[in-house]
């Protein structure tokens, strides 16, 4: 394992967008960044080196920025207030991501909605993590909404981002059972544990070229 890169191969480069603590960024760093995957028993022969090339936050005090710096990963901050509108904000962010040669943009606890202008710059290459089994409980407070509804099963979704809110084609989902004595906090903890596994897994599959769209139904993501 850990064979040297063939001539001409380059790492699969991630741009990770965050707004807060960056615990999902940490799971990407721990499991995938610069060969962490090679040490993983699950990594196959087709595993390609993955690198977090840039971490972007809209919030200058996001702890995730520290996590990136601790691992020698470049960071950039794009506060919304510095821009005339969301499109200008997103285009500046897209420029920075392109400058770093990013192959995939990962929204990992990024609290702003990205604009269609941003998505056009990274076609079928922006993914998001959502703590529910979409299409159930979209929006900003899914775990609270799930508990209020009295659901008994929820989960985690990793999906491609499209122009809607939490409506894009689904890559992976995993169920999480709700226990009768669960609180929002205890449920959130179990959901986080699944997120920390599912998001790196989706990134790995995409980096290996194993994720494509069904021509007959472009909502349907095929994993080979």
- The catalytic residue positions are 130
Measure the CA–CA gap between 157 and 149, rounded to whole angstroms: 18
> Does residue 174 interact with its own copies by CB under 8 A?
yes
Kindly tell me which residue out of 77, 91, 112, 136 binds its own copies, with binding defined by CB under 8 A.
Answer: 136
Q: In angstroms, rounded to a whole number, what is the distance separating the alpha carbons of residues 187 and 174?
A: 14
Minimum CB separation of residue 173 from its own copies in Å reads 4
Q: Is there binding between residue 199 and its own copies (CB under 8 A)?
A: no
From the list 37-45, 55-63, 97-105, 147-155, the region that binds its own copies by CB under 8 A is 147-155
* Residue 10 main-chain phi, psi, to 5 deg: -130, 160
Nearest CB to its own copies, comparing residues 14 and 171: 171
Between residues 86 and 197, which has the closer beta carbon with respect to its own copies?
197
Among 30, 46, 95, 148, binds its own copies (CB under 8 A): 148
161 near its own copies, rule: CB under 8 A = no
What does the alpha-carbon distance between residue 97 and residue 91 come to, in Å, rounded to a whole number? Answer: 10
Pairwise CA distance, residues 176 & 196, whole Å:
13
**Other beta carbons less than 10 A from residue 10's beta carbon:** 11
Task: Collect all residues with Cβ–Cβ distance below 8 Å to 15 and sequence separation of at least 6.
Answer: 53, 54, 55, 56, 97, 100, 102, 104, 105, 106
- Per rule CB under 8 A, count of chain residues that contact its own copies: 29
179 belongs to the binding site for its own copies (CB under 8 A): no
| Three-state DSSP state, 65 | helix
Minimum gap (Å) between residue 186 Cβ and its own copies: 15
Alpha-carbon distance 212 to 218, whole Å?
9
Residue 131, interface with its own copies (CB under 8 A)? no
Residue in 129, 172, 191, 203 binding its own copies, rule: CB under 8 A = 172
Contact status: 221 vs its own copies (CB under 8 A): yes
The yes or no reply on residue 219 touching its own copies (CB under 8 A) is yes
Task: Check binding of 87 to its own copies (CB under 8 A).
Answer: no
Q: What is the nearest approach in angstroms of its own copies to the Cβ of residue 220?
A: 4
118 with 91: CB under 8 angstroms?
A: yes
Closest CA to 20 of 111, 92, 93: 111
For its own copies, the binding residues (CB under 8 A) are 133-137, 148-153, 155, 157, 169-175, 177, 180, 214, 217, 219-223
């Amino acid at each position: 394992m850990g064979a040297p890169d063939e001539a001409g191969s380059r790492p699969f480069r991630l741009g990770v967008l965050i707004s807060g603590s960056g615990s999902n960024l940490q799971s990407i760093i721990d499991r995938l960044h610069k060969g962490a995957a090679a040490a993983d028993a699950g990594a196959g022969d087709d595993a390609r080196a993955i690198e977090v090339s840039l971490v972007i936050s809209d919030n200058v005090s996001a702890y995730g920025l520290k996590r990136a710096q601790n691992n020698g990963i470049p960071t950039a901050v794009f506060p919304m207030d510095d821009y005339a509108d969301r499109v200008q904000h997103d285009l500046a962010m897209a420029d920075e991501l392109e400058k770093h040669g990013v192959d995939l943009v990962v929204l990992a606890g990024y609290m702003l909605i990205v604009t269609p202008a941003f998505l056009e710059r990274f076609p079928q290459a922006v993914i998001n993590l959502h703590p529910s089994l979409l299409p159930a409980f979209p929006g900003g407070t899914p775990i609270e909404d799930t508990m209020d509804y009295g659901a008994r099963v929820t989960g985690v979704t990793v999906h491609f981002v499209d122009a809607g809110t939490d409506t894009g084609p689904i890559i992976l989902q995993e169920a999480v059972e709700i226990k009768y004595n669960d609180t929002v906090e205890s449920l959130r903890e179990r959901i986080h544990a699944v997120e920390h596994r599912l998001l790196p897994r989706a990134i790995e599959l995409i980096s290996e070229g194993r994720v494509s769209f069904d021509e007959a139904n472009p909502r349907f993501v095929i994993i080979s």
